[in-house]
């Protein structure tokens, strides 16, 4: 049986080629996802743990409740005491902060999110073991800095050049004293690291004589566990110590969370690709078995049992799957390397590819078993054909019957799934999305089963258009398409799945983008918004120079956390009562915004509704640092809970200063005399000291910033879905190719009656377009429906979210599907046009 199966595989290798390609593409996606995920995991782990081997013990302060939950710092005396402990070779106090380096054009170098600053802490030999200088030396004066090699190369800086560096305390120019290399854990990929002299770093990032943490290096032969005990016994209150190995494990777990998420997303799309591939595989074996009924019946007639014939066919599918899996494993490894280059960014560390035994086993097993499972139903159906009937039949087909049990059950489940989705969409409970997911699974699965039944009415709908384009060829294309509804439905179903996902993502993405753009700028009356590069913490002193800007009106948004207001956890945002009304649009529904000048607060409507507050109510205030008092609500205003600018609680700066001496400035709103212009933008930038850590954004940039992330994610998802579209196109090509083989006599007869080669080609291409239109139309309808349902679940918590139908993107998806179908028809159409008339008409 194995030899027979192997001979059959090579005898029908052209027919099985598309099946092998579908399996190979699916396994390519699975292998690529696993290899890329493992490589990303390894890279993140290596990057996060690089450098901790030289640290025996790390000492850091605990979170300080009196400081809003932010970590405290350590005194220089602690570092001195720890350095004197037995077994300690050195105790280096570290200072960490945010420092952006300006290029020669004034713009920050590298990834702003990872623009870091630190201190040069030399030991007795004048060297800092954390940094290895390739040029120059470490900074020792208050006007010198050192840069990492990558940043210095980007800026074209050399030792002795003047470099402008910005921090939360402002910007200043320094002389470059040296260029260094360092551990991966200290310098994120794409980021920058600027070293200051010890005293300068303390002044910029903390306070004189204070450190962020202390790195202890052990003397040779010292037991790290015993050293940890000695260090812990000498630590001051609210300070903790861990070994370098423990800290490395913690950092590795934190660093790999994002890579694990990316791996899960890729595997999800790989599952979609494999699901689409099952339709192609099942369809191929259905057509192959139908073409081989005489052969299979002859085997039965000479003594082979049903079980033996079934085993032969299953062995064929196993051989095809095994060969395709090996090919997919090799190609998938290459795809993982391609993914590394495509998705490489400042946040993605580079690493060699990691091919684990688990990846090899999973890829081979999935690729081998998938064809067997997909071919089981066609093979089982073929085994039900009696040998005598099979020998007398040229071809066996089993078109879907409207009154069949499958159709009735499928219709019931589609109706049930649709009702479930609608119920979930109209429900605002926490389980609404789970209900929609269940309903969508039912509706989508059974809709796919019903596509054979839908093929006739959809083909009738497109028939007038096709016959208008080509009267004879269009009519033949429609007739050939509906000749076998089950085959047509299986082919179109693969395309419908990919289009459903693409359309649903388009609807959700367009709706979310419009909402974010409106939510971001609806309440903004200011001309510019000043933000810290990378979302780093600003202080009121950062933007104090704006006072000197002539004709400008501004107000910081000073966020202060750790409050219990009337028993409710709250965040207060301090503003300038005299100017905030000109910079932010407050839609007051009760009270007056003028109450801010009287020391009262204004509360967003969603916050007031949840807490049961009203205008005129006096609330007790208590902060984590123990300070307490009371405050009165002077106004309630409409606000979007997801807005990045409109606060949930607006308070006068004087009130916030009473409870928090160092609030974090989230943003600064600025309105200039005469409105936005290049001159106004330059004036604001110059007034802020040409600080590379600060971004001055206009309304357009603020709007783009809010929706940029969604657009990037959608582009990645569309790229991943393209694999499913490719597999669906292969299914169309396979169906048409098999159809050409089955219709050789018919095609020869048409040629003999006067249909030229161009006419045959046009007929096959119209069939492909009809298949594409069937899958694209059903997929678009289902995608819009599911996008609407999921969007409805957001409306309860996201004020202002509305359904947006991106007609352009939906039309583009349909156009891509039709183009893919047309391209898939090129080879089958060419084969059909070359059918030999004499040989075809002479065939029995």
Q: Flag the least confident range among 159-163, 358-362, 466-470, 628-632.
A: 466-470
Whole-number Cα distances in Å, 765 to 481, 519, 736, 821:
11, 47, 9, 8
pLDDT value of residue 406: 55
Q: Are residues 566 and 669 in the same domain?
A: yes
Q: Are residues 141 and 250 in the same domain?
A: yes
With a threshold of 0.85, does the pTM exceed it? no
pLDDT tens-digit readout, 573-593: 999 999 998 898 898 999 999
Local confidence band at 399 (pLDDT 50, 70, 90 cut-offs): very low
Select the more confidently predicted residue: 643 or 546. Answer: 546
pLDDT value of residue 167: 86
Q: Are residues 148 and 271 in the same domain?
A: no
* Per-range mean pLDDT, top range of 182-186, 194-198, 449-453: 194-198
Q: Over 70: is that where the pLDDT of 457 sits?
A: yes
| Terminal alpha carbon distance of the chain | 29
Q: Are residues 683 and 619 in the same domain?
A: yes
Q: Over 90: is that where the pLDDT of 283 sits?
A: no
Q: How far is CA 729 from the centre of its chain?
A: 25
Bridge partners (DSSP) of residue 564 are: 569, 622
419 located within any domain: no
Q: How many domains does the chain have?
A: 4
HEC-encoded secondary structure of 236-262: CCCEEEEEHHHHHHHHHHHHHHHHHHH
pLDDT value of residue 43: 79
* Per-range mean pLDDT, top range of 259-273, 304-318, 353-367, 700-714: 353-367
**Cα–Cα distance, 71 to 60 (Å, whole number):** 9
Q: Is 17 exposed, middle or buried (0-12, 13-18, 19+ CB in 10 A)?
A: middle
Bridge partners (DSSP) of residue 555 are: 669
pLDDT value of residue 351: 63
Q: Are residues 182 and 313 in the same domain?
A: no
Question: DSSP assignment, residue 835?
Answer: -
pLDDT value of residue 711: 66
pLDDT value of residue 346: 44
pLDDT value of residue 180: 95
**Cα–Cα distance, 144 to 178 (Å, whole number):** 9
C-alpha atoms less than 13 angstroms from C-alpha of 345 in its C-beta half-sphere: 7
- Which of 178, 161, 171 is closest to 204 using CA atoms? 171
pLDDT value of residue 366: 86
pLDDT value of residue 137: 93
Q: Flag the least confident range among 312-316, 353-357, 681-685.
A: 312-316
pLDDT value of residue 259: 62
Q: Flag the least confident range among 39-43, 172-176, 507-511, 713-717.
A: 713-717
Q: Calculate mean pLDDT across residues 540-560.
A: 82
Q: Are residues 360 and 445 in the same domain?
A: no
Q: Over 90: is that where the pLDDT of 613 sits?
A: yes
Copy the structure tokens of residue 366. Answer: 């999935």
In DSSP notation, 350-395 reads -------HHHHHHHHHHHHHHHHHHHHHHHHHHHTS-HHHHHH-S-
**Cα–Cα distance, 149 to 119 (Å, whole number):** 17
pLDDT value of residue 47: 77
pLDDT value of residue 402: 44
Q: Flag the least confident range among 61-65, 152-156, 316-320, 361-365.
A: 61-65
113 located within any domain: yes
pLDDT tens-digit readout, 201-217: 999 988 899 999 999 98
Q: Over 90: is that where the pLDDT of 452 sits?
A: no
**Cα–Cα distance, 503 to 385 (Å, whole number):** 41
Q: Over 70: is that where the pLDDT of 177 sits?
A: yes
**Cα–Cα distance, 391 to 827 (Å, whole number):** 31
Residue 175 is inside which H or E element, if any?
Answer: strand 170-182
Residue pair 84/191 in contact by the 8 Å Cβ criterion: no
Q: Are residues 639 and 711 in the same domain?
A: no
Q: Which of 254, 281, 306 is at the close of a domain?
A: 254
Q: Flag the least confident range among 46-60, 138-152, 258-272, 629-643.
A: 258-272
Q: Over 50: is that where the pLDDT of 436 sits?
A: yes
Residue pair 148/11 in contact by the 8 Å Cβ criterion: no
Whole-number Cα distances in Å, 656 to 260, 569, 635, 660, 663:
40, 15, 17, 6, 8
Residue numbers of the domain that contains 351: 1-54+257-396
| Segments of 648-691 assigned E as strands | 649-652, 664-671
- Which of 743, 237, 744, 802 is closest to 508 using CA atoms? 802
Q: Which of 206, 230, 254 is at the close of a domain?
A: 254
50 located within any domain: yes
421 located within any domain: no
Local confidence band at 403 (pLDDT 50, 70, 90 cut-offs): very low
Q: Are residues 126 and 158 in the same domain?
A: yes
**Cα–Cα distance, 473 to 769 (Å, whole number):** 12
pLDDT tens-digit readout, 620-678: 999 877 788 999 999 999 887 767 788 899 999 999 988 888 788 888 999 988 888 88
Mean pLDDT of all residues belonging to the chain: 80
Select the more confidently predicted residue: 381 or 58. Answer: 58
408 located within any domain: no
Provide the pairing of β-strand 568-575 with 170-182: unpaired
Copy the structure tokens of residue 230. Answer: 């000695």
Whole-number Cα distances in Å, 91 to 88, 232, 236, 255:
7, 14, 15, 26
- Which of 46, 81, 127, 98 is closest to 212 using CA atoms? 98
406 located within any domain: no
Q: Are residues 755 and 838 in the same domain?
A: yes
pLDDT value of residue 391: 54
Q: Over 60: is that where the pLDDT of 345 sits?
A: no
Q: Which of 350, 377, 396 is at the close of a domain?
A: 396
Three-class secondary structure of residue 402 per DSSP:
coil
Angle, in degrees to the nearest 10, between helices 13-49 and 2-11: 100
pLDDT tens-digit readout, 222-249: 899 899 999 988 888 888 898 988 888 8
Q: Are residues 555 and 584 in the same domain?
A: yes
352 located within any domain: yes
Q: Are residues 246 and 108 in the same domain?
A: yes
Percent of the chain with pLDDT over 70: 81
pLDDT tens-digit readout, 731-789: 788 777 767 777 778 888 888 888 888 888 888 888 888 888 988 898 898 888 888 88
Q: Are residues 386 and 263 in the same domain?
A: yes
318 located within any domain: yes
């Amino acid at each position: 049986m194995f030899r027979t199966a192997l001979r059959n595989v090579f005898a029908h290798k052209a027919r099985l080629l598309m099946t092998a390609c579908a399996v190979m593409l699916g396994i390519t996606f699975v292998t690529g996802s696993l290899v890329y995920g493992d490589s990303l995991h390894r890279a993140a782990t290596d990057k996060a743990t690089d450098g901790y081997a030289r640290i025996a013990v790390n000492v850091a302060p605990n979170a300080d409740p009196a400081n809003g939950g932010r970590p405290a710092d350590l005194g220089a005396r602690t570092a001195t005491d720890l350095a004197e402990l037995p077994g300690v070779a050195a105790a280096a106090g570290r200072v960490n902060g945010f420092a952006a380096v300006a290029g020669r054009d004034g713009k920050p170098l590298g990834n702003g999110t990872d623009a870091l600053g630190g201190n040069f802490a030399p030991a007795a030999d004048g060297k800092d073991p954390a940094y290895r200088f390739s040029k120059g030396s470490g900074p020792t004066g208050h006007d010198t800095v050192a840069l990492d090699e990558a940043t210095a190369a980007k800026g074209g800086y050399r030792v002795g050049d003047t470099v402008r560096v910005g921090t939360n305390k402002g910007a200043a120019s320094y002389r470059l004293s040296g260029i260094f290399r360092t551990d991966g854990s200290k310098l994120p990929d794409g980021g920058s690291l600027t070293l200051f002299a010890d005293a300068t770093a303390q002044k910029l990032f903390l306070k004189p004589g204070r450190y962020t943490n202390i790195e202890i290096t052990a003397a040779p032969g010292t037991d790290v566990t015993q050293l940890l005990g000695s260090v812990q016994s000498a630590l001051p209150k609210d300070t903790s110590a861990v070994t370098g190995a423990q800290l490395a494990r913690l950092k590795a777990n934190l660093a790999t969370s994002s890579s694990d998420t990316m791996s899960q997303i890729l595997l999800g799309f790989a599952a979609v690709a494999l699901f689409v591939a099952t339709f192609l595989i099942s369809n191929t074996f259905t057509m192959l078995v139908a073409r081989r009924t005489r052969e299979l019946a002859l085997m039965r007639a000479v003594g082979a049992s049903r079980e033996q014939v079934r085993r032969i066919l299953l062995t064929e599918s196993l051989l095809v799957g095994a060969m395709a899996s090996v090919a997919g494993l090799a190609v998938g490894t290459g795809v993982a390397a391609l993914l590394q280059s495509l998705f490489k960014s400042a946040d993605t560390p580079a690493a060699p590819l990691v091919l684990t035994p688990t990846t090899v086993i999973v890829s081979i097993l999935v690729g081998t078993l998938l064809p067997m499972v997909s071919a089981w139903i066609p093979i089982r159906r073929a085994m039900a054909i009696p040998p005598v009937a099979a020998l007398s039949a040229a071809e066996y087909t089993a078109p879907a019957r409207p009154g069949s049990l499958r159709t009735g059950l499928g219709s019931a489940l589609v109706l049930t799934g649709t009702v479930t989705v609608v119920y979930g969409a109209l429900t605002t409970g926490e389980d609404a999305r789970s209900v929609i997911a269940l309903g969508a699974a039912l509706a989508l699965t059974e809709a796919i089963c019903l596509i054979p039944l839908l093929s006739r009415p959809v083909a009738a709908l497109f028939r007038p258009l096709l016959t208008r384009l080509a009267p004879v060829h269009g009519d033949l294309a429609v007739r050939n398409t509906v000749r076998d509804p089950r085959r047509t439905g299986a082919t179109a179903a693969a395309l419908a799945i990919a289009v459903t996902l693409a359309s649903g993502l388009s609807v959700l993405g367009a709706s979310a983008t419009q909402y974010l753009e409106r939510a971001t700028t609806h309440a903004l009356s200011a001309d510019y918004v000043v933000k810290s590069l990378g979302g780093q913490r600003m202080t009121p002193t950062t933007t104090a120079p704006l006072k000197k800007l002539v004709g400008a009106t501004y107000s910081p948004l000073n966020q202060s956390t750790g409050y219990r207001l009337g028993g409710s956890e709250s965040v207060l945002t301090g503003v300038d009562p005299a100017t905030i009304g000109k910079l932010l649009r407050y839609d007051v529904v009760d009270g007056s915004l003028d109450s801010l000048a009287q020391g009262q607060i204004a509360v967003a409507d969603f916050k007031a509704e949840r807490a049961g507050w009203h205008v005129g109510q006096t609330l007790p205030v208590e902060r984590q640092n123990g300070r307490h008092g009371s405050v009165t609500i002077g106004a309630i205003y409409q606000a979007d809970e997801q807005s990045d600018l409109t606060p949930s609680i607006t308070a006068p700066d004087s009130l916030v200063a009473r409870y928090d001496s160092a609030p974090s400035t989230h943003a600064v709103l600025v309105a200039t005399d005469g409105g936005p212009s290049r001159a106004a933008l330059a004036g604001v930038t110059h007034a802020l000291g040409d600080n590379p850590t600060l971004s001055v954004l206009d309304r357009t940039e603020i709007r783009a910033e809010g929706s940029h992330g969604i657009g990037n994610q959608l582009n990645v998802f569309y790229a991943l879905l393209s694999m499913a579209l490719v597999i669906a196109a292969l299914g169309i090509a396979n169906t048409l190719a098999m159809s050409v083989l089955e219709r050789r006599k018919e095609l020869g007869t048409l040629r003999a009656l006067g249909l030229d080669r161009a006419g045959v080609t046009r007929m096959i291409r119209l069939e492909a377009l009809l298949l594409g239109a069937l899958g694209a139309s059903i997929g678009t309808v289902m995608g819009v429906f599911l996008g609407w349902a999921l969007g409805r679940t957001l409306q309860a918590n996201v004020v202002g979210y509305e359904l947006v139908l991106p007609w352009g993107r939906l039309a583009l998806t349909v156009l891509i599907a039709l183009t893919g179908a047309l391209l898939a028809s090129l080879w089958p159409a060419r084969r059909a046009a070359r059918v030999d008339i004499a040989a075809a008409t002479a065939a029995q």
